[in-house]
């Protein structure tokens, strides 16, 4: 009887070892795989203004390598692809009472680079581009923008991070909108006025005064 027991003992030990090893391997293969979110891939390509890394499990999830963009909000930022282009096929003309002649302005179109950075800085899209008469009306640097029907014409200039928006908002003559000034609603700035900060939504500003500067 004992001889029979000793004969089957090695087989019994082998079976036990096999089961134990198999259980360990099963435990290892049952580990929860990491997710894209847990690895830091929580954004989409539309949120990145530069290079990005794609999640190996889901190519639609990425990690923006420019999250800590040192140029974000810089009023003198230079854009690699430019800030906007001028669409000369979309125009509108009107009579300028300041100079007494008809003025034609052209639609501006934001570049993809600018749109992404603008959204990241302001938390909203730059909107449908407004109108300018010539390139000097809107700086190609900084975050200054004209949209939703706003316009700048004649010798006016919009630069740094100033904003002009709304179908009745306009910069004319030699007026300047700069800094963080916002010209909106039906506000018209003209003459040699300068606006550096604050929001202006109605009235016509003419002369040489400075506002918020």
Residue 201 has pLDDT above 80, yes or no: yes
Residues 142 and 57 placed together within one structural domain of the fold: no
Split at pLDDT 50, 70, 90, the class of 10 is very low
Residues 148 and 104 placed together within one structural domain of the fold: yes
Q: Sign (positive/negative) of CA torsion 140, 190, 210, 128?
A: negative
Residues 62 and 92 placed together within one structural domain of the fold: no
Residue 93 has pLDDT above 70, yes or no: yes
Residues 94 and 57 placed together within one structural domain of the fold: no
Residues 135 and 174 placed together within one structural domain of the fold: yes
Contact 148, 130 (CB under 8 A): yes
Q: How far apart are CA 130 and CA 158, in angstroms?
A: 12
Residue bearing the bigger pLDDT, 7 or 61: 61
HSE-up of residue 196 (Cα within 13 Å, Cβ side)? 5
The boundaries of the domain holding residue 48 are: 37-68
Mean pLDDT of 44-56: 76
Residues 51 and 91 placed together within one structural domain of the fold: no
> Considering its fold, how many domains does the chain have in total?
2
- What percent of the chain stands above pLDDT 70? 82
Residues 51 and 108 placed together within one structural domain of the fold: no
Write down the pTM of the prediction.
0.69
pLDDT of residue 66: 58
Strand pairing class (131-132; 145-147): unpaired
- What percent of the chain stands above pLDDT 90? 53
Residues 146 and 44 placed together within one structural domain of the fold: no
| Domain assignment present for 206 | yes
Residues 156 and 188 placed together within one structural domain of the fold: yes
Mean pLDDT of 174-180: 98
Residues 52 and 91 placed together within one structural domain of the fold: no
33-42, 74-83, 120-129: segment of lowest average pLDDT = 33-42
| Domain assignment present for 30 | no
Give the burial class of 7: count Cβ atoms within 10 A of its Cβ; 0-12 exposed, 13-18 middle, 19 or more buried: exposed
Residues 134 and 96 placed together within one structural domain of the fold: yes
Mean pLDDT of 196-200: 98
| Domain assignment present for 7 | no
Residues 47 and 151 placed together within one structural domain of the fold: no
Q: What's the whole-number average pLDDT of the chain?
A: 84
């Amino acid at each position: 009887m004992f001889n029979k027991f000793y004969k089957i003992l090695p087989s019994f030990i082998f079976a036990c070892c096999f089961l134990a090893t198999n259980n360990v391997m099963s435990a290892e293969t049952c580990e929860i795989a990491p997710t894209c979110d847990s690895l830091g891939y929580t954004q989409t390509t539309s949120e990145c203004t530069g290079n990005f890394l794609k999640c190996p499990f889901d190519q639609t999830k990425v990690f923006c390598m420019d999250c800590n963009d040192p140029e974000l909000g810089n009023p003198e930022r230079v854009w690699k692809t430019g800030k906007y282009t001028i669409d000369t096929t979309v125009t509108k003309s009107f009579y300028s009472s300041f100079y007494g002649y008809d003025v034609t302005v052209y639609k501006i179109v934001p570049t993809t680079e600018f749109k992404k950075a603008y959204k990241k800085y302001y938390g909203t899209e730059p909107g449908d581009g407004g109108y300018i008469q010539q390139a000097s009306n809107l700086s190609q640097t900084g975050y200054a923008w004209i949209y939703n029907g706003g316009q700048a014409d004649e010798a006016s200039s919009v630069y740094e991070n100033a904003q002009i928006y709304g179908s009745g908002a306009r910069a004319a003559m030699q007026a300047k909108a700069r800094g963080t000034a916002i010209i909106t609603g039906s506000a018209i700035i003209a003459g040699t006025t300068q606006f550096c900060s604050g929001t202006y939504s109605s009235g016509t500003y003419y002369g040489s005064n400075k506002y918020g500067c």
